[in-house]
Every structure is written in structure tokens, then in C-alpha cells.
Amino acid sequence: MEKNASILVVDDDKEIADLVEIYLVNDGYQVLKASDGEQCLQTLKEHPEVRMLILDIMMPKVDGITVLKEIRKRGNLIPVLLLTAKSEVDDKVLGLEIGADDYITKPFN
């Protein structure tokens, strides 16, 4: 992905979202943030320049699995990295089966 590309970070844990933002900005990316799935879907509509989505699963209003299903249903093939505390094999399999490109569990290094 080209430097200066926009990445949308979606997490209801502000500290995690801020930490991810720091790493991405320091690596040359533009970062947008949302704190729930509903905000995520709205931000994707308003910002077609977003080139990647880093998405938590357990969030208020609309969870990450529902968000992922919705964007894939719309035909949006944006790369999606699920970043979540849900670490069971079944959770990982579900996330990847519905269209995530990768799955990382929290805490992460």
C-alpha cells in the first residue's frame, strides 16, 4: 500500500486506537478513527479514499463482524485486518471466512 494512504482504525478502546494511530502516522499513513461499527460504515461512505480498515470485533452499536459482512455484501474489497481480543480458533475462522484479510489478537506487540 502506498505511503500517505488513508487507513480507518475502528476500536471502542481509545487507548488502542490511539496507539495504532501513532504507529501508522509514524510510518507515513493518514489515519481516520471511529469508535463503533455504525461510525465506521458512515466514515467509509464519506471517505472513499480509505485504503484499509483495522477493525475491532466487540464494539457498541454495530459489531465488527456485522460491519465486515456489510461491506463485503456491498462489494467493497478493501483490505480488512481484524484486531480483537477474541482469540478462539472459531472466532478466527469466522472472521477469515466472512472476508477479513488477516486476524490479530490483543494484546499485540
- Per residue in 3-59, pLDDT (tens digit) is 789 999 999 999 999 999 999 999 999 999 999 999 999 999 999 999 999 999 999
pLDDT at 20: 95
Look up the pTM and report it. Answer: 0.91
pLDDT at position 1 is 74
Whether the pLDDT of residue 108 is over 70: the answer is: no
Residue with cell 463503533: 36
Q: Which pLDDT belongs to residue 109? A: 58
